[in-house]
Structure 1
């Protein structure tokens, strides 16, 4: 009786979700801001929740994340349809050609990607006219009937930010993590030891560093992705961490600030781990966060990995 009650409660929750959040705006690249109506819930006779559409799953994510849809978000559909029935979900940083092929191999037709699919922030396919790579990628997605949804603005809006939380979890620092903060204070270690820990925990081969490898660090700023030089330097000035661990930067902004502060006798260090590695833990953790909310749905994290080869 308990399991039946739990299933019934979950169905009721899904139905309420679609009523409350249904009609979330989903934008295709370059489309107008118009709502797509959710299809009625028609779950299976057990707790597997097979038969859910892309839209129903997006609505569920927003409901569980206590999020409200807003205009202007880049979290829109990049391919496919909101009404397609989901056969499996793949989470990833970038929906690369390899990730698309792997999703198809897994029988998954819904990719939730953190970053753009078509090489620009809004995924405008005409960002560069007649881009033949964009056209080939669109054709591949159509071939496999795969829907791609970007999950960027919303994932950072959940409390705690799932990207920051996922990074802290993968680094074994959850005991030091505080919701709303982008820094942690850990037991002192050398900058070299920190770099070794980052590389081992996150699967990184190479990092870029400004700082003394022998200096002790404890107060660590975690600035994943590419928040921009102004935010990075503001964080350095206001929080004064021992080291900033960042994804990427404009070299003529933050890197030059860090170089000059070091030449002026400053002790703050900078470690760049790459955009992918700095935020991928969030998409890895998304599987753990989402799976209990969609029992029976196959959800897999597929790492898009490093774009570069190091010579």
Structure 2
């Protein structure tokens, strides 16, 4: 199957995606290539690209931008890495498509809903255009909830999470977001007792300070951790929808570790 046909399967969906201003584009490569296998990943690091080369795979679907930043004002190290990565992809005839805006909010298989499913809590029904989900009847302390989440996320190479605020507060309603879209102010409009956020979905001077002042514990995970299950979901979805092509999920396995003294009380 041509790469363009696979991309078309995705591009023709998603009324929530502004197709005139979207991140979902072919970033590099020839979409007229015929392929029989595709790697799906959260971000196409050099490690992922090497796996594609070894597997003789010529198409990668990535959720995040593998070229770091888009600007004419870039650190020299970033420009060098961009050129090296693009040269490696071109040398091995590997095309890369970014599937981001569609997949964040895609029902059931997408990032938001797969994240909620991974956490094994009772969630209210999703609102289609919202990045927020609300879990009810949690009935755990912040610390108990943190340990529960840690067990859930371990398959995606994060080992422990950060708590900001009380470890002993009883949590009945938990707000979660999607990737970096973890707006605690929107969550707190839903009368949550705590928020599960990504490390790049909050700022210390605004969100964290406000949460501390209002006694809302924050449980913090890595951005990748909260989205990886959704990329596995994309692999499953495409294998169901498209025949004659094998879609393979390749995890980003670099590992996220929380090291420190046990301060539970």
Q: Scaled by the length of structure 2, what TM-score is found?
A: 0.83
Shift of 1:232: 2.7
**Kept in 2: contact 1:88–1:297 (CA 8 A):** yes
- Structure with bigger strand share is 2
The one of 72, 83, 90 equivalent to 2:32 is 83
* Aligned twin of 2:203: 250
Distance 1:136 1:164, change over 3 A: same
1:298 aligned partner? 246
8 A Cα contact 2:159 2:256, kept in partner: no
Structure 2 residue aligned with 1:164: 112
CA contact (8 A) 1:224 1:245 kept: no
Q: How many angstroms apart in 2 are the aligned matches of 1:155 and 1:144?
A: 27
Alpha-carbon distance between aligned partners in 1 of 2:120 and 2:258, rounded to the nearest angstrom: 27
- Say how many residue pairs are matched: 248
Deviations 1:215-266 (A, max 9, x none): 22121111132227xx332332x112111111122222211212222xxxx3
Compare the two structures and name the one with the higher helix fraction. 1
Contact preservation (8 Å) 1:65, 1:159: no
The Cα of 1:271 is off from its aligned counterpart by 0.6
Q: 5+ unaligned residues in a row in structure 1: which ranges?
A: 1-51
Could you list the per-position Cα deviations for residues 53-85 of structure 1 after superposition, in whole angstroms to 9, with x for gaps in the alignment?
121111112346567761111111221122222
Residues 1-311 of structure 1: pairs in structure 2 closer than 5 A: 52-63=1-12, 70-120=19-69, 123-124=70-71, 126-128=72-74, 131-160=79-108, 162-173=110-121, 176-180=123-127, 182-203=133-154, 204-227=158-181, 231-236=183-188, 238-248=189-199, 249-261=202-214, 266=215, 268-306=216-254
Report the TM-score when normalising by structure 1. 0.72
Larger Rg: 1
Name the SS for the 2:172 alignment partner.
Answer: strand
Measure the CA separation in 2 of the matches of 1:67 and 1:54. Answer: 23
Bigger relative contact order (CA 8 A; separation at least 6): 2
Give the direction of change, closer, same or farther, for the CA distance of 1:62–1:163 in structure 2 (3 Å limit): same
